[in-house]
A and B are shown apart, each in its own frame.
Chain A
Amino acid sequence: MSDTATVPALQEHVHGPLKHQFDDIAQQHEADTLGMWLFLATEVMFFGGMFTGYSIYRSQYHEAFAAASNHLDLLMGTINTGVLIGSSLTMAMAVHAAALGRRRALIICLIATMVLGCGFLGIKAYEYHHKFVENLVPGPNFHFEGNSARETEVFYSFYFAMTGLHAIHMIIGVGILAVLTFYAWWRGFHPQNKHIEITGLYWHFVDIVWIFLFPLLYLVGHHEK
């Protein structure tokens, strides 16, 4: 922070105009970043409730969870993990491009991130469709061949709740990226750089949630196949 503190013009370029409640740009930047980290802390607790529930049932219904997990499409899950990690890369490149003031690169990176994010959602929708066709969606039509059909429905409840909530976060993220791309395109990106940095934090967080979801949902039963 100290190296930029000497160049107020660059600061305004990177962090946007100073709002009236702050004394200087450094204070404003600190507040914005801290705000986003705190929000992410609430998100950890939000997903944490479901991870807790999942852990309890997984220890109780070990075999059912392994059997149900093996019915998930491992190939699609793996591809999606790759797609999402790729989107994190392009997001990080977007933050970098914004900091350097490269508008063209920024727009390309933002669009790439959105495309990868939508690709993830598309593959997820395909998987959901398959589960629907296979009668693996919890509810009256749920049907699972095997010994512990009852408990596998709990697994699929968690599967849909956790990946569904993750997908909602992805959709919100893509929406924010679309707005940022629009601003970068039409207004020049000067006032939005800190927004891109903060959105980047959010995007990476959503990716990290998936990094936990993937092994817990797709891989837990794999060695028992």
Chain B
Amino acid sequence: MSTVPVEPVVEAPRNYLNASYGVKSWLLTTDHKRIALLYLVTITILFFLGGAFAVMIRLELATPQGDLMTPDTYNKMFTLHGIIMVFFFLVPSIPATLGNFLVPMMIGARDMAFPRINLLSWYVLTIGAVISISAAVMGGVDTGWTFYTPYSTTYSNTYVTLMAVGIFIAGFSSILTGLNFIVTIHTMRAPGLTWFRMPLFIWSHYATAIIIMLGTPVIAITLLLVGAERTLKLGIFDPALGGDPILFQHLFWFYSHPAVYIMVLPAMGVVSELITCFSRKRIFGYSFVALSSVAIAILSFLVWGHHLFVSGQSVYAGMIFSLLSFMVAVPSAIKVFNWTATLYRGSISYDTPMLYAFGFIGLFTIGGLTGLFVATMAIDLHVHDTYFIIAHFHYIMVGGTVMAYMGGLHYWWPKMTGRMYPEGWAKFSALVLFVGFNLTFFPQFILGYLGMPRRYYAYPEEFQVLNVMSSAGATILGVGYLIPLVYLFWSMRYGERASSNPWGATSLEWQTPSPPPTENFTVTPVVTEEAYTYSHEAPEHV
């Protein structure tokens, strides 16, 4: 050692971002943090693509007549909006970006259990997305994102098979991510990190992974059978042969209802972290919040029949599915009440992530409660296939998942990039998003209740005022998403440098530098206490 000359002073400490450079070092990386950023770039592109289709829908609906596009084009627009947003943005959104980045860090591991499979999952999603986008470019699909038979198998002349192949492939990306989460959480927790000391973010991702593992294969086989029916002329859903198109609906919703919880459970995990950090208080009822995630995962598989109340399902089956759907509200409500109780007498600060968390709680509650409306058979008869349903699930998926995703992105941005985002702009855009969202989707509750059906490109004149409100709101919403896109990019270069723990948070990912070194921790942490040991002191900023 003594013969080695003194090394020159290195300016930036080694971290995962400057450990190596070049396109290859990113495309062949097995570092879960870099893979998270690859996912972030991919799904951001897909989000704005899906958003572009929504713009077309809202433009067409600004006037009662169908004047912007043909009915066929309109059908393709809402189909592509749904497919891109559900399968290529919402399902991977929080797990693949924040989850990928944080799950190993929060449990004190150096990486996922299967780093190469983790990279593979990104490639698989990208390939699936490319195939689906090619289907869109070649002529699109007009079945709706639900692919209901027999229309999708027998009558539609659009690129259904190619689109199904794209979604089928993307499903494997989910499965590989979920598999990695479960194995990592089971086998790689740091010494002393028992199950009931884990951050709630980990609990919710564990529950999500269970749903992914049990649900995704079912949509895979269902879409495969639709494809086989179109190409090989098998007759599994074909009524002409005695097949039953309703069987498709059962199989489809067996995945696609739990998929709602694939989208919203990780969001709940994010919100649990935000609420406790910005109230400077231990989470209220930790074990209830943790186990309610598992309860939601289990119950989510028992409620799919509430999508079939008007499909000719027996009324007794409908009653049971209705009751079970009400039961899912219980663990969801436990979470909302516990977050509220955490706020009580907390030392609350209104930083941007917390604004998004508040947005989530309010909007998710509206979305959840209207979910009870539609789980009631009598009301569902009235609002089924109307804009009421559209408003309901956008309150869950956009008002819930996307709000939490934005909140989480801001909260962990300093950790991911080593830079702070501009707080003023961030608060402003959070406000714009909240206003834009409500203006877009609240009128749709009323429209639906008054009887405007979904998936029509024209409507009676008396619905125009509410539709114009909705389209105007969508414009504001679009601006609200573009502002963060600009300032987050800006902050990567010009943002203030972040300390290792700008929020004064307690979980493990904050106990290592920002951005973290490639191996996450220089010394494997030993955990001696639960995740949320907050005292009432205000955080010291930056």
Task: Write the residues of chain A forming the contact surface with B, with a CB cutoff of 8 angstroms.
Answer: 20-23, 27, 30-31, 34-35, 38-39, 41-50, 52-53, 56-57, 60-61, 64, 138-140, 150-151, 153-154, 157-158, 160-161, 165
Contacts and interface: CB of A to CB of B under 8 A. Distances in A.
Given A53-B247, A56-B247, A35 B114 contact: yes
Interface in B62-115: 104, 109-115
Contacts of A61: 242
Contacts of B214: 41-42, 45
Nearest to B222: A49
Nearest to B216: A42
A22 B114 CA distance: 10
B187 A34 contact: yes
Contact of A150 (B234, B241, B251): B241
Interface of B: 104, 109-115, 175, 179, 182-184, 186-188, 213-218, 220-222, 224-225, 228-229, 232-236, 240-244, 247, 251, 254, 519, 524
A21 B111 contact: yes
Nearest to A43: B217
B147 to A, nearest CB: 14
Contact of B251 (A30, A53, A157): A53
A60 B236 CA distance: 13
Tell me the dominant secondary structure on chain A's binding face: helix
8 contacts: A20-B110, A21-B188, A23-B524, A38-B182, A42-B179, A49-B218, A57-B243, A151-B242
Q: Give the interface centre of B115, B182, B236 by most chain A CB atoms within 10 Å.
A: B236
Contacts, number: 119
Contact of B232 (A34, A53, A138): A138
A57 B237 CA distance: 11
Given A21-B115, A42-B217, A154 B243 contact: yes
Contacts of A151: 241-242
A60 to B, nearest CB: 8
Of all A-B residue pairs in the complex, the 7 with the closest CB atoms, nearest first, are: A49-B221, A46-B217, A139-B233, A157-B234, A21-B111, A45-B217, A31-B113
A21 B217 contact: no
B236 A42 contact: no
A53 B112 CA distance: 37
Nearest to A50: B221
Given A46-B217, A56-B244, A35 B233 contact: no
A102 to B, nearest CB: 29
B183 A34 contact: yes
Nearest to A148: B242
Contact of A138 (B114, B175, B186, B233): B233
Given A42-B217, A46-B218, A31 B179 contact: no
Contacts of B109: 21
Contacts of A57: 242-244
Given A21-B112, A35-B183, A49 B232 contact: no
B339 to A, nearest CB: 31
Given A31-B183, A53-B251, A154-B241, A20 B111 contact: yes
Contacts of B112: 21
B111 A138 contact: no
A27 B190 CA distance: 12
B218 A21 contact: no
Nearest to B524: A23
B383 to A, nearest CB: 29
A60 B246 CA distance: 14
Contacts of B114: 31, 35
